[in-house]
Structure 1
């Protein structure tokens, strides 16, 4: 599956704890509820997913363009600067 962007959200709260289950826990993670959360506001939800790979050369926050996945792995949420280089 090719990487795609389906939406952009803005964090609109500080981190808070809530142990209420909101989705099924992935297999092998026991009874994890992922209690650290933030409130999100949708900025843009795309009608069609946006291909990510063509954006990599323009994204200044990705320093190593060949190993870009290492910059994003392990981060479900990442702050991205608004400005894109031309």
Structure 2
């Protein structure tokens, strides 16, 4: 269990394929930060796991080589509010290679 006060470093935990259209569901499945109140994040999609990484891949070391991140200094703007996105094939290959590289 992770302490609710700890902010984890940005990481990639797996690769998924979207297998449904967007749908709405009001069932609360996430714990929102207190400042968001009773937010349920109702817009959902169904995902098919392609690969769940044994260890998360640290995101920051990949930044210089990820082509979809065009502003390397303010990189979070490229993914904030869009945690799931289609990325170029070369970025996918880079991430998958990083996931296969021993870390620790």
Q: TM-score range by the shorter chain?
A: 0.7 to 0.9
Aligned mates of 2:38, 2:58 — CA distance in 1: 34
The aligned residue for residue 9 of structure 1 is: 16
Q: Partners of 1:4 and 1:27 in 2: how far apart? A: 23
Q: Counterpart in 1 of 2:51?
A: 44
RMSD: 2.2
Question: Which fold has the larger relative contact order, with Cα–Cα distance below 8 Å and residues 6 or more apart in sequence?
Answer: 1
Larger mean Cα displacement after TM superposition, 1-10 or 52-61: 1-10
- The separation in 2 between residues aligned to 1:82 and 1:67, in whole angstroms, is 22
Partner of 2:36: 29
Aligned length, in residue pairs: 86
SS in 2 for 1:8: strand
Which ranges in structure 2 are unaligned for 5 or more consecutive residues?
1-7, 95-104
The offset of 1:25, in angstroms, is 4.0
How big is the shift at 1:41?
0.8
Task: Give the 3 Å change call, closer, same or farther, for CA 30–81 of structure 1 in structure 2.
Answer: same
Flag the structure with higher helix content: 2
Q: For structure 1, list consecutive stretches of 5 or more residues without a partner in the other structure.
A: none
Q: Quick check: which one's strand share is greater?
A: 1
TM-score, reference length from structure 2: 0.67
- TM normalised by structure 1 equals 0.77
Give me the whole-angstrom Cα distance separating, in 2, the residues matched to 1:78 and 1:59.
Answer: 13
